[in-house]
Amino acid sequence: MRPRVSRSRVANAGEKSIEVFMCLRSWFGRRRRRAIRPASTSRAARRPRGFRALAARACRRPAKAGRQLATRGARDANRAAAVERGRQLPPRGHSERRRGLAVRSPAPKNRRMHRSLLFACALGAFLPRAAAEPPPPLPAIEVTATRVEIDHAPSIPTDTLFDTGDTQLRASARPLLDAIARALAKDATTTVRIACHTDDTAPDNDQTGEYDHKLSQQRAEAVQAYLARHGVAARRLTARGFGRDKPVADNTTDDGKRANRRLEILIAGEVRPPDVADLAAYTRAIKGKGTLIATIATSQGTLHCQLFDDKAPITVANFVGLATGQKPWTDPQTGKTMRGKPFYDGLTFHRVIPHFMIQGGDPLGTGTGGPGYQFDNELADLTHVPGTLAMANAGPGTNGSQFFVTEVETSWLNNKHTIFGQCREIDLVGKIAAVPRDTGDRPELPVTIARITFARAP
């Protein structure tokens, strides 16, 4: 059963059909002027009626006339639907209120004009529906609360982001890009490479290839600009368009061409020194507003250390990022970049000296290893007292991952090492420092770091 056409459904269509209607009225008026005009020549008799009156009012009040036109178009469509269902209707011109169609149909002599107007309504109603058809469903991309998948290039068909030949993002694509922007904004350690591809197989010097390259480049830059406006640092974004395809599917089929017309967003971890902005990113998931506390679980006991994120924000950001796995680092044994893996888990205190300090954080266990980068000191008005948590280094600007905790006061180290925390369990520090060791101050039985976690003091 065909549903009835409501007035509200075609109201906007009627307004948009006024221009079409006026063209039809002009053409029809020239051919049927004598047939439509009554025989009387009085002013009252020559006054336009029915659809001709509606056309005249359209010039003065097009919005109202469009709604009236849409109402009449809806009535006629309802009448046609009723006839198809087998209903017996009275001739046109009789009242049809009781049958739920309309208050009154136009006079029979205006029937041809009525059909033309109904065509205009139908045309105006069809075009908005065609333009408003929903785009293909957006592809699913792995997005979590804190980050997107690293070293993965999700592929998005370009026709879900852009209209054909256009470089302006569709409104329907914004929720997907918003989700990616939110995830990237929470993880400042990643870089984003935006690559737009086409299904063009023409030579590089072909005019079509040049057009596709320019179109792809502009589309990639449009996505780059959108992400930059929504919280992703511009320095992390790069965009590139391709004039020739790098096919991922058969380019001879429609489905294959659609798969090849794609935009890839490669999220890559970046091994680099820490900066101040990393502190907020790495500690965002830690609840509370109190002092930042690090809990270092070892094979000999647990240390609780207050971190000085106000005095040494870069060093604290580095320590938290490595301990939680949020900061990428380079494995010195394999040269591979490690992402999402806590750095300190399983490492040992490779150097212990009684009545002095314990030192750890070297993935090689020799005192020469690190995360693959170095950064400068943050020297504040702090001194080395018992329980001081500080960075080990080989001179200015050589901080990496190694740290030490003092057992006693070590004033000769002041202004040479970055102090970024204070530990409570000094007796545990002395216990670890007193374990049997070899001539290189390496413990004979390894003292390992099981895990480092973080919380805020109440």
pLDDT digits (tens, 9 = 90+) for 397-429: 999 999 999 999 999 999 999 999 999 999 999
User: b/e map of 1-18 (b: 16 or more CB within 10 Å)?
Assistant: eeeebebeebbebbbbbb
Report which of 72, 71, 58, 57 is spatially closest to residue 106, judged by C-alpha positions: 72
Report which of 360, 270, 291, 258 is spatially closest to residue 319, judged by C-alpha positions: 360
- Residue 211 CA to residue 202 CA, distance in Å, equals 11
What tokens were used for 250? Answer: 């058969």
Q: Please identify which residue in the block is written with the tokens 């097009």.
A: 62
Domain end (from 71, 99, 131): 131
Check residue 271 and give its pLDDT.
Answer: 76
- Mean pLDDT along residues 70-87: 64
Q: Does one domain contain both 262 and 327? A: no
Q: Does one domain contain both 215 and 321? A: no
Q: What is the CATH number of the domain that holds 236?
A: 3.30.1330.60
33 in a domain, yes or no?
Answer: yes
User: Burial level of 448, CB count in 10 A (0-12/13-18/19+)?
Assistant: middle
Q: Does one domain contain both 121 and 39? A: yes
Q: Which residues form the catalytic set?
A: 351, 356, 359, 393, 404, 413, 417
Confidence of residue 258 (pLDDT cuts 50, 70, 90): confident
Check residue 71 and give its pLDDT.
Answer: 61
State the amino acid at position 438 in one-letter form. D
Confidence of residue 324 (pLDDT cuts 50, 70, 90): very high
Q: Does one domain contain both 191 and 337? A: no
pLDDT of 86-122, one tens digit each? 666 565 554 444 444 444 444 444 444 444 444 444 4
Q: Does one domain contain both 224 and 300? A: no
**pLDDT above 70 coverage of the chain, percent:** 60
Which domain range does residue 374 map to?
286-456
Higher pLDDT, 416 or 200: 416
Q: What is the 3-state secondary structure (H, E, C) of the chain?
A: CCCCCCHHHHHHHHHHCHHHHHHHHHHHHHHHHHHHCCCCCCCCCCCCCHHHHHHHHHHHCHHHHHHHHHHHHHHHHHHHHHHHCCCCCCCCCCCCCCCCCCCCCCCHHHHHHHHHHHHHHHHHHHHHHHHCCCCCCCCCCCECCCCECCCECCEEEHHHCECCCCCCECHHHHHHHHHHHHHHHHCCCEEEEEEECCCCCCCCCCHHHHHHHHHHHHHHHHHHHHHHHCCCCHHHEEEEECCCCCCCCCCCCHHHHHHHCEEEEEEEECCCCCCHHHHHHHHCCCCCCCCEEEEEEECCEEEEEEECCCCCHHHHHHHHHHHHCCCCEECCCCCCEECCCCCCCCCECCEEECCCEEEECCCCCCCCCCCCCCECCCCCCCCCCCCEEEECCCCCCCECCCEEEECCCCHHHCCCCCEEEEECCHHHHHHHHCCCECCCCCECCCCEEEEEEEEECC
Domain end (from 241, 269, 297): 269
Higher pLDDT, 136 or 458: 458
- Residue 110 CA to residue 106 CA, distance in Å, equals 7
What tokens were used for 164? Answer: 């054909």
142 in a domain, yes or no?
Answer: no
Check residue 36 and give its pLDDT.
Answer: 40
Confidence of residue 231 (pLDDT cuts 50, 70, 90): confident
What tokens were used for 54? Answer: 């509606």
Number of Cβ within 10 Å of residue 210's Cβ equals 14
Q: Does one domain contain both 448 and 343? A: yes
- Mean pLDDT along residues 168-176: 86
140 in a domain, yes or no?
Answer: no
- Residue 41 CA to residue 363 CA, distance in Å, equals 105
What tokens were used for 197? Answer: 């591809």
194 in a domain, yes or no?
Answer: yes
| pLDDT of 300 strictly over 50 | yes
Check residue 333 and give its pLDDT.
Answer: 84
| pLDDT of 222 strictly over 60 | yes
Q: Does one domain contain both 444 and 337? A: yes
Q: Does one domain contain both 211 and 252? A: yes
Domain end (from 269, 302, 318): 269
- Mean pLDDT along residues 243-247: 64
Check residue 23 and give its pLDDT.
Answer: 46
- Residue 328 CA to residue 349 CA, distance in Å, equals 22
Q: Does one domain contain both 420 and 290? A: yes
274 in a domain, yes or no?
Answer: no
277 in a domain, yes or no?
Answer: no
Check residue 438 and give its pLDDT.
Answer: 92
Check residue 165 and give its pLDDT.
Answer: 80
Q: What is the CATH number of the domain that holds 324?
A: 2.40.100.10
Number of domains comprising the chain = 3
Number of Cβ within 10 Å of residue 412's Cβ equals 7
363 in a domain, yes or no?
Answer: yes
Q: Does one domain contain both 225 and 349? A: no
pTM value > 0.85? no
2 in a domain, yes or no?
Answer: no
Higher pLDDT, 315 or 220: 315
Average pLDDT over the chain, rounded to an integer: 74
Q: Does one domain contain both 254 and 307? A: no
Q: Does one domain contain both 352 and 425? A: yes
